[in-house]
Structure 1
Amino acid sequence: MSSRPLRRRRTLYVVLPILAILIAAGAYFCFPALRLLIHGDRIREIPNAQWVDAHRYDQPWFDAARVGRTDILRALSEAHYPIDTQTSSGYTAVILTAYDEQPEALDYLLGIGADACRGDRNGNTALMGALYKGHTAIAKRLLDAHCPIDQANNSGETALSFAALFGRLEFIPLLAARGADPNHADAQGNTPLQVVLKQGNEESAAALRKVGAIR
């Protein structure tokens, strides 16, 4: 009888458990909701009077923002977690709730005083992220966050630039009504109108002209 099938069987006995561990680890690291399912009860049991070690709870904080777990955000904020903490990419929980379209979590964060104006390491704000993703309901919430209307990212682009660039036409007059400058030039000296015309985006160009873009 050949020993080859036996060797194959032994190999499977070794390989399959390793694959199972790798798959489980991959799922844990790739899915915020799974991590929170595992650790959520422990976080909710933190006494409100306890000051938590900020860095110890960074991952649950950002995971909770991504998946809209307001209960976890509340538990950590009541334990004095610093609510404007940023990831290595500069994302705050507010930015993550905007980008991943989590309105209830966003409302909670804004209600406890989280900074909606803080940009990521590229200077992009939560409002810019919402406009980029097309999350219009989120973007409308963020319009009331009282950030500088012409706040620019590192490339000199404003929220109005994002609205024009990504075709969020309803936001162009909304932003202009709040004082956004339709002729604001970015770091390359280009206005939103010049940028969209280079793209051949006539709809955005027309919307910009209606609110006073002249160059």
Structure 2
Amino acid sequence: MSEGGLTPEQVERVVAIAMDLAREGDTGQLLEFLDHGLPVNVTDPQGNTLLMLAAYHGHAATVRALLDRGADPDLRNARDQSPIAGALFKGEDEVVAVLREAGADLDAGTPSARAAAVMFGREHLLAD
């Protein structure tokens, strides 16, 4: 993000607001932040991306919009969790489908999406 004279505290606050928008699935406002220079793959202190939070909270339209803006579907958080594994864990079938369409790596992270699918009886979501 072009800091444009923002203090580190202000930058931290902007990122926190954007993360909340991703959690809430507020695609319109979130895209405005991106339009004003927020990097699409920005992370919070736990290493979560906007995509990770939108995926985990079941917001398929927000996930799709972030992917359209260049979000990396395979960036993992500090706990080595991938967005698709998080969506599988939460039972967010539509999000899983969107991430698969985007080419998300089913073997990345701990547990991997494949392992998460087996753990939660959701293997059918990863079948070709």
Render the CA deviation track for 1:95-153: whole Å, top value 9, x for unaligned.
11111111111111010001110011111111000000011111111112223332132
TM-score where L is the length of structure 1: 0.53
> Structure 2: which 5+ residue stretches go unaligned?
none
Match of 2:73 in 1: 116
The residue type paired with residue 28 of structure 2 is: D
| Bigger Cα Rg | 1
2:118 is aligned with 1:164: yes
> What is the number of residues matched between the two proteins?
122
CA distance 1:147–1:79, shift in 2 (3 Å): same
On the 8 A contact 2:76/2:109 being kept in 1, the answer is no
Which structure exhibits the higher relative contact order, with contacts defined as CA atoms closer than 8 Å and separated by 6 or more residues?
A: 2
Runs (4+) off by over 6 Å: none
TM-score where L is the length of structure 2: 0.86
The residue type paired with residue 78 of structure 1 is: D
Query: Alignment RMSD, CA only?
Result: 1.8
> Structure 1: which 5+ residue stretches go unaligned?
1-49, 178-215
Q: Percent identity?
A: 25
Q: Displacement, 1:51?
A: 3.9
Take 1:168 and 1:148, find their aligned partners in 2: how far apart are those partners?
16
Take 2:23 and 2:112, find their aligned partners in 1: how far apart are those partners?
24
Render the CA deviation track for 1:5-36: whole Å, top value 9, x for unaligned.
xxxxxxxxxxxxxxxxxxxxxxxxxxxxxxxx
On the 8 A contact 2:88/2:96 being kept in 1, the answer is yes
The residue type paired with residue 114 of structure 2 is: L
2:9 is aligned with 1:55: no
Match of 1:87 in 2: 44
Q: Displacement, 1:162?
A: 0.4
